Amino acid sequence: MLADADILITGGTGSFGRALVKHLLDQNPSPRRIIVFSRDELKQHQMSRELEADDMGRMRFFLGDVRDAERLKTAFRGVDYVVHAAAMKQVPACEYNPTEAIRTNVDGAINVAAAAIDAGVKRVIALSTDKAVNPANLYGATKACAERLFTHANVMAGALDTRFSCVRYGNVLGSRGSVLQVWRAQLAAGRKLTITSPLMTRFWLTLPQGVAYVLSALERMAGAEIFVPKLPSCSMVELAEMVAPDGGWERIPVRRGEKMHEILISADEADRVQAWPAEFIIKSEPLGEDQWRVPEGFTYRSDTNSDRLTATELAKILEGVA
C-alpha cells in the first residue's frame, strides 16, 4: 500500500517516529517520500545525519508545529498517508502546563484533521494511549478528546475519501523517557531503582511491535475505528527485578494522576468492541448482535490480563531493547 506513496509523520523525530522511518526505509519497495514533520530543528538535523546517503533522496524534513494550521496545510500537500504521533506525553509536564497540553494534543488534533481533509489525504492514523481510558490526568483527558476528534473527523470528511482512525496501546519499552531509560540511568549512577508501588501493573510492547501494529492498522482501517492490540502485562516489581536482579529498589510517592493499573478498554465501551485473536477493535457505534462482540461489562486491564510476561519472556525482551 505504501509503495510509491507519500507518507508524513507528525512528531517524526520522537522515539516512535524515528523507529517508523527506519522501518519504512528498510522496506522494499518503500514509500516514494517519507516526510518528518516536527518542531525541533536540532533533532531533525541529527536524524538526517544518521541516515544513509541513498535514503536521503526519499526523505523530507519539514519544520512546523501541529498548533499551526496553515503550516500543516502546506506540509500535507500531495501526501497520501499521515501518522499522527506528535503530542505532549509527559504526565507531570501536562499537569503543570495544562494550556500547552491542550494546544498541542487537542487543538493539534483539530488542525491535523482539517489539514488532511483540505489536502485530500487518503488515511490518517493517530496514536493514542491507555491513559485516554477513564482519564485520571490531563494528558489522558486530552488524548481522550483527541480520539473523539479523530473518529468524528470521518463525519467532517463526508463523501470525501479521507478517513481517520486511532491506535491505542500501553507502555513502550525503550522509548524516550520510558521507565526503562530512567532505571538504566539510575543503575549507571549506582542508585536503587525507584518504584511508586509494588502492586502497580502495566501493559508492555516494544517500539518495533508498535510500529508494525500501527502500519497494519493503517492498511486495514475503514475509518472511525480504535485499534487495541492484545498485549502482555506484568507488575513493575517483576520488571525491576529483571533489570536489576541484585540492585534492589526503593519506593517513592505515587505521582499526581498516576494510575495503579492500565485500562485499554473500559466497560462503557464494551458494546462497541470486537474481539479478534490478536487485537480488539472499538467501533464508533454499538454492535448489536455482532458475533465478535465482547460480553457486556468487559474491560481490558493490566492487573486482570491473563497474558502475563514470564521471567524468560521479560529477559528476552530486555535483551532486544537498547
Domain map of the chain by residue range? 6-169+206-229
What's the pLDDT score for residue 262?
95
Cell numbers found for residue 252: 517513592
Q: What is the pLDDT of residue 291?
A: 85
User: pLDDT tens, 131-156?
Assistant: 999 999 999 999 999 999 999 999 99
> Would you give the DSSP letter of residue 223?
S
Residues 174-193 have a mean pLDDT of: 84
C-alpha cell at 190: 549506582
Residue type, 15: S
What b-and-e string marks burial along 243-273, b requiring 16 or more CB atoms within 10 Å of the CB?
bbeeeebeeeeeeebebebbbbbbeebbbbb
Query: Whole-prediction pTM value?
Result: 0.94
Phi, psi of 37 (to 5 degrees): -110, 115
pLDDT at 27: 85
Average pLDDT, the chain: 93
Mean pLDDT for the stretch of residues 309-318: 85
pLDDT at 230 (0 to 100):
97
CATH topology (fold) of 6-169+206-229: Rossmann fold (3.40.50)
User: Strands, E, within 58-177: which ranges?
Assistant: 59-63, 81-84, 123-129, 163-169, 171-173
Q: Which residues, in sequence order, are CB contacts of 207 under 8 Å at separation 6+?
A: 15, 16, 19, 172, 173, 174, 175, 321
Grid cell in block for residue 130: 491507555
CA distance 283 to 166: 11
Would you say residue 200 has pLDDT above 70?
A: yes
Alpha carbon distance 71, 46 (integer Å): 22
Run of H or E residues at 38: strand 33-38
- 22, 43, 122, 131: the catalytic one is 131
Active site residue 131: yes
Specify the pLDDT at position 322: 64
Q: What is the pLDDT of residue 318?
A: 81
- Closest to 214 in 3D by CA, of 277, 302, 126: 126
What is the pLDDT, as a whole number, of residue 55?
A: 80
Is 6 in a helix, a strand, or coil? Answer: strand
What average pLDDT does range 164-172 have in this prediction? 94
- Specify the DSSP element, H or E, that contains 187: helix 179-188
In the chain, the percentage of residues whose pLDDT exceeds 70 is 99
Residue 139, pLDDT score: 96
Label residue 230 exposed, middle or buried (CB < 10 Å: 0-12, 13-18, 19+).
Answer: middle
β-pair partners for 227: 167, 281
Pairing mode, if any, of strands 226-229 and 279-282? antiparallel
Place of cell 519506593: 251
Structure confidence at residue 242 as a pLDDT band (50, 70, 90): confident
Query: How confident is the model at residue 312, as a pLDDT?
Result: 87
Half-sphere exposure in the Cβ direction for 16 (13 Å, CA)? 27
Summarised one tens digit per residue, pLDDT across range 78-112 is 999 999 999 999 998 999 999 999 999 999 999 99
